[in-house]
Copies of this chain bind each other. A is one copy, B any other.
Amino acid sequence: MNKKGLLIVVSGFSGVGKGTAVKKLVSEYGYSLSVSATTRAPRPGEVDGVDYHFKTVEEFEKLIDYNGFIEWAQYVENYYGTPKQFVEDELEKGNNVILEIEVQGAMHIKEQYPDAVLIFITAPNAVTLKDRLFGRGTEDAKVIGKRLKRAYEETDDMMHYDYLVVNDDLDKCVQDLHAVITAESFKSDRNSEHINIMKSELTDIRKEFIS
């Protein structure tokens, strides 16, 4: 019914598998994925325009000056940002846009787009989350300790999200994300135009019966 697309912001605990879930969601249901811009160097296998839009510092700062980002931030020595043009074009075309971003960025987006739908991907429980972090097998206990600290801090932000979706089984998680987006498109405040059209059409049709 509603014509404009939805802006869907997805965050989640470090190690919860949100990247995989978002990729599958986008490929299965044809949503538009927003690709972030960054000044950090591409890692082996990363493709420009797919994993990130890789920019020089000069290019990135020029885009900041031209108001080209919905939100941007600097971590360590690198810039990260969400290009505005792509998101607005897609929404205007009626496409639903998925944006995977950390908590701070998600809050900035909600300020500018109050209609945005914020989803936090969580684990069934903390032990599962810890096991997944260990499961990567690449980090030592100190690094995992840091990640658990961050996860602990992120629990404070979960209430600011509209929905909490558990990633226990990947397929179910992807279906659940799709159910949330589907349901949001039916919200009555997103469909006031349908109500107006029904009202106007029923006014006309009733005339046939009154005259």
Known contacts A162-B188, A164-B191, A191-B164; A122 and B198 CB within 8 A of each other: yes
Q: Establish whether residues A152 and B202, one from each chain, have CB atoms under 8 Å apart when the complex forms.
A: yes
Instruction: Specify how many copies of this chain sit in the oligomer.
Output: 2
**Which residues on the B side are within 8 Å of A161 (C-beta)?**
188
Complex Cα distance, B191 from A161, in Å, reads 11
- B-facing residues in A181-201 (Cβ within 8 Å): 182-184, 186-189, 191-192, 194-195, 197-199, 201
Q: Does A76 contact B (CB under 8 A)?
A: no
Convert A59-85 into 0s and 1s, putting 1 for each residue whose CB lies closer than 8 angstroms to a CB of B.
Answer: 000000000000000000000000000
- For residue A151, which residue of chain B has the nearest CB? B202
* 8 A Cβ contacts from A119-158 to B: 120, 122-123, 125-127, 129-130, 141-142, 144-145, 148-149, 151-152, 155, 158
Which B residues lie within 8 Å of A204 (CB)? 126
Does A206 lie at the interface of the complex (its beta carbon under 8 Å from any beta carbon of B)? yes
Q: How far is the CA of A183 from the CA of B177 in the complex (A)?
A: 8
* Chain B neighbourhood of A198, CB < 8 A: 122-123, 125-126, 155, 158
Dominant SS at the A interface?
A: helix
Distance, CA A65 to CA B165, complexed state (A): 43
Please determine whether A163 and B187 come into contact, CB atoms closer than 8 angstroms. yes
Say yes or no: B186 contacts A148, CB within 8 Å: no
Interface size class of A (residues with CB under 8 A): 35 or more
Taking CB atoms, residues of chain B closer than 8 Å to A210 are: 145
Residues of B within 8 A of A155 (CB): 195, 198-199, 202
**A180: nearest residue on chain B (CB-CB)?**
B183
Q: Given contacts A159-B192, A176-B186, A180-B186, is CB(A202)–CB(B164) below 8 Å?
A: no
Do A183 and B163 touch across chains, with their CB atoms under 8 A apart? yes
